[in-house]
């Protein structure tokens, strides 16, 4: 009985966190040679029978909220025509900014952009806090992907490793850390295969209250779900 109770509590914690592992998609849709706002255009994402959608405001801007973190395809319906196959990558507790999208039927046209490469693959996600975030694509390219603590230490200069391998943030003491895997908190680092990680976030300051009171840092890991693996497989079949 005790064993089943523990399993049930673990499952409930994973479910609760899964509901909170959400992000957003924002952007602006224009059309025509005069680049007018696509007021009233319907923008949506479909996922396993669920639809996350929004309408463009008079400025052509939209925001779709409460989307589970992961990769999707965005659809736009405007003036009886549809624009599809716009790839979005919804981050954990942040938002994917698609910028300016020129509506042109079934073709995606976006503004020119410059991309720069950083050797440590460090980037800031759009959101309320400047946190270090990695998705599955980033993790695959990391040389330290086979060891969780080495991977965390590699993505932030605020993270140090003690002689015995424990992580310390901004000079905090050993053990003053919080690790969260799919909503389950632990004082010890989880060591799971990098291929099973969907998103990883490292808070070195401005820690949200939901992770508790700590003077160190927080490492939040979300594992890949069945539906995320299914979406990846479906994309390879097209």
Give mean pLDDT, residues 87-112.
78
Among 14-18, 28-32, 200-204, name the most confident range.
28-32
Please give the full DSSP string across 48-62, using - where no structure is assigned.
Answer: TTEEEEEE--TTSEE
Neighbours of 28 (CB within 10 A): 18
Question: What is residue 156's three-state secondary structure?
Answer: coil
Q: Measured at the alpha carbon of residue 193, what is the angle toward residues 237 and 139, in degrees to the nearest 5?
A: 70
At 15 the pLDDT is: 41
Please list the residues that pair with 159 across neighbouring strands.
169
- Reading the block at residue 128, the tokens are 């309320």
Residue range 214-238, pLDDT digits in tens: 767 788 888 888 777 777 777 777 6
Q: What is the CATH number of domain 132-227?
A: 2.170.130.10
pLDDT bucket at 9, cuts 50 / 70 / 90 = very low
Indicate if the pLDDT at residue 6 is higher than 60: no
Pairing assessment for the beta strands 22-31 and 95-104 based on DSSP bridges: parallel
Residues recorded for the chain:
238
pLDDT bucket at 105, cuts 50 / 70 / 90 = low
- Cα–Cα distance measured from residue 135 to residue 2, given in angstroms and rounded to the nearest whole number: 36
Neighbours of 116 (CB within 10 A): 5
- Reading the block at residue 88, the tokens are 């979005």
Neighbours of 105 (CB within 10 A): 13
At 14 the pLDDT is: 44
- Cα–Cα distance measured from residue 184 to residue 182, given in angstroms and rounded to the nearest whole number: 6
Helix (H) / strand (E) element for 43: namely: strand 42-47
Give mean pLDDT, residues 148-174.
74
Domain boundaries, the chain: 21-110, 132-227
Fold observed for domain 21-110? Immunoglobulin-like (2.60.40)
């Amino acid at each position: 009985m005790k064993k089943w109770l523990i399993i049930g509590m673990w499952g409930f914690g994973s479910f609760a966190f899964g509901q909170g592992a959400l992000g957003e998609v924002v952007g602006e849709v224009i059309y025509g040679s005069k680049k007018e706002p696509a007021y009233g255009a319907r923008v949506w994402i479909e996922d396993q029978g669920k639809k996350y959608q929004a309408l463009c405001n008079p400025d052509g801007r939209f925001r779709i909220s409460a989307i589970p973190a992961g990769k999707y395809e965005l659809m736009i319906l405007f003036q009886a025509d549809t624009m599809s196959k716009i790839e979005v990558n919804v981050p954990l507790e942040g938002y994917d900014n698609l910028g300016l999208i020129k509506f042109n039927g079934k073709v995606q046209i976006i503004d020119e952009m410059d991309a720069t490469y950083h050797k440590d693959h460090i980037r800031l996600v759009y959101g309320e806090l400047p946190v270090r975030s990695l998705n599955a694509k980033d993790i695959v390219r990391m040389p330290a992907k086979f060891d969780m603590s080495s991977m965390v230490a590699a993505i932030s200069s605020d993270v140090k490793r003690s002689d015995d391998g424990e992580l310390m943030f901004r000079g905090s003491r050993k053990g003053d850390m919080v690790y969260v895997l799919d909503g389950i908190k632990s004082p010890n680092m989880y060591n799971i295969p990098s291929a099973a990680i969907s998103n990883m976030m490292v808070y070195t300051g401005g820690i949200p209250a939901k992770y508790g009171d700590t003077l160190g840092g927080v490492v939040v890991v979300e594992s890949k779900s069945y539906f995320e693996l299914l979406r990846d497989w479906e994309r390879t079949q097209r």
